[in-house]
Homo-oligomer: A and B are copies of this chain.
Amino acid sequence: MTDLSIAQSVALAPIKSVATRLGIAEDDLELYGKHKAKLPLALIDAEKMARAQLILVTAMTPTPAGEGKTTMSIGLSDGLNKLGKRAIAVLREPSVGPVFGAKGGATGGGHAQVGPLVDINLHFTGDFSAVEKANNLLASLIDNALHTPGHPLNLDPRAVLWKRVIDLNDRSLRDIIIGLGGKANGVMRSDGFNITAASEVMAILCLATSLADLKAKLGNILVGFTYTNEPVYARQLKAEAAMAILLRDALQPNLVQTLEGNPALVHGGPFANIAQGTNTVLATRMGLSLGDYVVTEAGFGADLGAEKFLNIKCGYAALAPAALVMVATIRALRHHGGAPPVEINTPDLARCEQGFANLEKHLENAQKFGFQPVVAINHFVSDTAEEVALVQRLCQNMGVQAVVSTSWAEGGAGATRLAEAVLASIASGANRFRPLYAWDQPIKAKIETIAREIYGAAGVDYSPKAEADIRRINRLGFAHLPICMAKTQKSFSDNEKLIGRPVGFRVTVREFELATGAGFVIPLLGSLLRMPGLPAVPASEGMDIDDDGVITGLS
């Protein structure tokens, strides 16, 4: 059974009835077909939010296949509902590009999915398209200013920072020259397209707390510099209102459901390296207003996803998780214990034990944020009872409960024990969230804290470019912003080969980017791919749609 065939075997309830169970009046729904709806921001209610509990799902350092955070979040939410709790999964929405590449979609897996699968993985409610349009409108306004003789902004075409975006895997657009063909076609300059999820507009949409805040943040985007090296912001192009108009509907959270008919909000999908990698603040708040428990996730391993969730998103949105779930897999433990890729599905107690060092560090990190985490072992058929027992014992030694979840195979029923453990963790009062650093510290101090405390690095080095960038950030007055680290997700370090729990390493900040609209400083600890390519045989070749519109080969 593929994820798609499982999804197609389930008849989703009308989204109206899902909304009714949440106490939402039909008139408050903006339906997008029968199984998707946008919700008005007026449903966000501070009092209800204060009474609800936020559960953050994060993970150990993943293998390339991913360890199933989305599947686990959906399963946990379904499991809580099975226990009679009013829980809502609040998740990112997937990017279209990878659907036609190698990665596929991102609506969970097996029996722990949100649906409708095809809709969510493709156009959904148009949010990605709106982000793309707003991003590219700003780009066209920039080039139009360059093209207009005597434009008052005096923008330097060599100093434009803003890139265009497209939600496709299209390597040919990474590095391009635009404005060719003579005077009528604008100013020739170097440019490139990123994938839409990498747009700062997406990061902004996901951090905005209201339409007014969205507009203000859009206006604060740094688009480039003048010939005299002065910063130019989007508001100087009078771009922010038009961009906010394009994003008006996209700002509203999307209501969908799990395959078990439980509510899910799927809204916003920023990158997890150069951005915060988690769903919108408004969807999280909406979830907390509509349910008693919100299960949410943050991209990549906890060194990236949870760190940013807790230091950036919680800071901007005044959120405090009541529990933290750390997803682990036996295969990832084997991987960090040294198993080569062809052997990660081969039982190996010794490698598992050695690989535990990676999970152990993530658990220690969670404790630094004030959490007593719950480990969720995402069950695979190749797991042996001995391996699972080993991990549970090693966790127990740290005072951490590790619970096996079989929600991929069994849906919510496979996650009730996990749900019980999470509820117990919340009830214990042991979780007292505190951020890792104060935003008003100097840039280097904040980076040093993350690198030493979370990564376990011995120190941080800065390239000359990075030192110059820090001086510029200070000069522009943005030293007070939180840090959004851009680093490989494959290692605690900035070297993806260093698996497990590396020690004694140093990390190098090569340069910085500045997301003044979203409100964070991005140290780049390596080269990042912001535009994926297609494989030699793209997934699109295996897709089909019959005359009745039934789709196959999409996942």
Chain A residues close to B by CB (< 8 Å)? 30-34, 38, 96, 100, 118, 122-123, 126, 129-130, 133, 136-137, 139-141, 143-144, 147-148, 151, 166-181, 184-187, 191, 210-212, 215, 237-239, 241-242, 244-246, 248-249, 533-534, 536, 538, 540-541, 543-545, 547-549, 551, 553-554
- Selected contact of A172 from candidates B187, B538, B540, B548, CB within 8 Å: B187
A129-B126, A533-B147 given; A168·B136 CB < 8 A:
yes
B140–A172 touching, CB < 8 Å: yes
B547–A210 touching, CB < 8 Å: yes
CA–CA, A245 to B99, complex, Å?
12
With a cutoff of 8 Å between Cβ atoms, the chain B residues found around residue A246 in the complex are 122-123
- Selected contact of A241 from candidates B33, B186, B545, CB within 8 Å: B545
A133–B168 touching, CB < 8 Å: yes
Main secondary structure of the interface of A (DSSP, over half): mixed
Task: Write the chain B residue with the least CB distance to A215.
Answer: B545
With a cutoff of 8 Å between Cβ atoms, the chain B residues found around residue A553 in the complex are 241
Copies in the complex: 2
CA–CA, A243 to B147, complex, Å?
35
A167–B239 touching, CB < 8 Å: no
With a cutoff of 8 Å between Cβ atoms, the chain B residues found around residue A549 in the complex are 211, 248
A245–B31 touching, CB < 8 Å: no
Task: Write the chain B residue with the least CB distance to A27.
Answer: B34
B140–A170 touching, CB < 8 Å: yes
- Selected contact of A181 from candidates B33, B34, B175, CB within 8 Å: B175
- Selected contact of A32 from candidates B32, B175, B238, CB within 8 Å: B32
A242-B540, A540-B238, A549-B211 given; A170·B143 CB < 8 A:
yes
Task: Write the chain B residue with the least CB distance to A248.
Answer: B549
Q: Nearest chain B CB to A186's CB is how many angstroms away?
A: 4
From A167, A177, A185, A210, name the one whose CB has the most chain B CB atoms within 10 angstroms: A185
- Selected contact of A143 from candidates B171, B244, B248, CB within 8 Å: B171
CA–CA, A393 to B250, complex, Å?
54
B242–A133 touching, CB < 8 Å: no
With a cutoff of 8 Å between Cβ atoms, the chain B residues found around residue A122 in the complex are 245-246
CA–CA, A174 to B177, complex, Å?
11
- Selected contact of A186 from candidates B30, B33, B141, B171, CB within 8 Å: B171
Supplied contacts A174-B181, A177-B180, 15 more A-B pairs, CB within 8 Å: A30-B34, A32-B32, A133-B168, A137-B168, A140-B169, A140-B170, A141-B540, A143-B171, A147-B533, A151-B536, A175-B185, A176-B176, A215-B545, A241-B553, A245-B545
